[in-house]
Amino acid sequence: MLNSESIRKDFPMLSLRREDGKPLIYLDNAATTLKPRQVIDAVVRYYERYTANVHRGLYRLSQEVTTLYENSRETIAKFIGADPSEVIFTKNATEGVNIVAYGLDWNPGDEVITTVMEHHSNLVPWQIVRDKFKVKLKFLDITDDGYLDVENFTSLLSKRTKLLALNYVSNVVGTINPVEKLVKLAHEREILVLVDAAQSTPHIPIDVKKLGCDFLVFSGHKMLGPTGIGVLYVSKDASNVLQPAFGGGEMISKVDLVKPEWNDMPWRFEPGTPNVAGAMGLAAAVEYLEKIGMDNVRKHEVQLTDLALIRLGDLESVTIYGPKRAEDRGGLIAFNVKNINSHDVALFLDELENIAVRSGLHCAEPLHRRLGVQSSVRASFYIYNTIEEVNLLCNTLEKISKLL
């Protein structure tokens, strides 16, 4: 099993204390994670020793940093079971979704299927596509206990369905969706599939070949990496139907005054100077997680989530959203305390015990409407969180419910 106490020593922020001496209890990992020293050092190393542009210089320093940059791509590709040519560096998962949205060839009447549990990043781009290209947008609903209503999936399909876009793990109810099954059903009808893996790549083993998806996106900052770096996976087959959404330098092989010729994969989707420091930092984050083992990451989160579900389930004042089994969900729990606004709960947790949680709509407003609530509190766990922290969260929530 994972040794959180040893891991915590790698995270400088966890050594900080508030003015009253209370340590930071960081439970907002679904929004962004803390960064270990190894990742921080990788970013600093680029700026201190390797600052140069990639792919463009023949001098030694440029060649060295180009090798480091492409080695980072190889490290990340291996982490998700992809070929390096299928890994495109982006700013974040959101940009990856938009590259697909604007890179596909849309015709009026084409259809996109997504779900009511999507993050706005995997919803708003399709609404724009709908309005811009006269595409029809359909939604797969959820059951009352937070699972996708898979039984009704095929009823949404038609001969005009072009793309299925869904998350692997919900950032609110935490549900781990049956992506592999849905991909298979979609591919039987030659429908492309995009998977938002922002809440899954940091937490569970990912193998894009096993999933079979055409596109997959995730963000570095949610998996110990720097902000401003993410990945869009494009399978070799799908690369033939996706056109560059942005133009500029590096993504071309030849340009005249009439038209350009695109570069090979993956560089045709990476215009301009890339985030070299971010790529090196993300590779360091991947190496850190690989050293721990993604199976161990998953087991640790199940243990913490199971404890939180039991403890919070014992509080009559607390309503939990999503699956009741820790094995069916990612390492996060959205909940509300009866008669107390979610923002007030978050503020009291912060004030009383320096516990950082998220409150509000979590960029998933339609899902909250489907759940029948205005907002929720979300506690999300990661490798440096401990059983003691989960118990402190639950004890403090019990105290808040009694006080208010």
- At 350-400, the pLDDT tens digits run 999 999 999 999 999 999 999 999 999 999 999 999 999 999 999 999 999
Whole-number Å distance between alpha carbons of 31 and 265:
30
pLDDT of residue 190: 97
Q: Which residues are catalytic?
A: 363
The DSSP element (H or E) to which 65 belongs, if any, is: helix 60-79
Mean pLDDT (whole number) for 298-308: 98
pTM: 0.97
DSSP states along 311-380: HHHT-TTEEEES-SSGGGB-SEEEEEETTS-HHHHHHHHHHHH-EE-EEE-TT-HHHHHHHT-S-EEEEE
pLDDT of residue 56: 86
Whole-number Å distance between alpha carbons of 289 and 72:
14
| Tokens read off for 5 | 């106490």
Domains observed in the chain: 4-27+294-403 (3.90.1150.10), 40-290 (3.40.640.10)
Best CA proximity match to 308, nearest among 25, 64, 72, 71: 25
pLDDT of residue 229: 98
- At 141-187, the pLDDT tens digits run 999 999 999 999 999 999 999 999 999 999 999 999 999 999 999 99
pLDDT of residue 176: 98
404: pLDDT strictly greater than 90: no
Task: State whether residue 238 is helix, strand or coil.
Answer: helix
pLDDT of residue 159: 97
pLDDT of residue 244: 94
pLDDT of residue 283: 98
pLDDT of residue 250: 85
Contacts of 74 (CB under 8 A, 6+ apart): 84
Task: State whether residue 217 is helix, strand or coil.
Answer: strand
Count CB-CB contacts under 10 A for residue 293.
12
Q: Residue 2: pLDDT band by 50, 70, 90 thresholds?
A: confident
Whole-number Å distance between alpha carbons of 374 and 360:
8
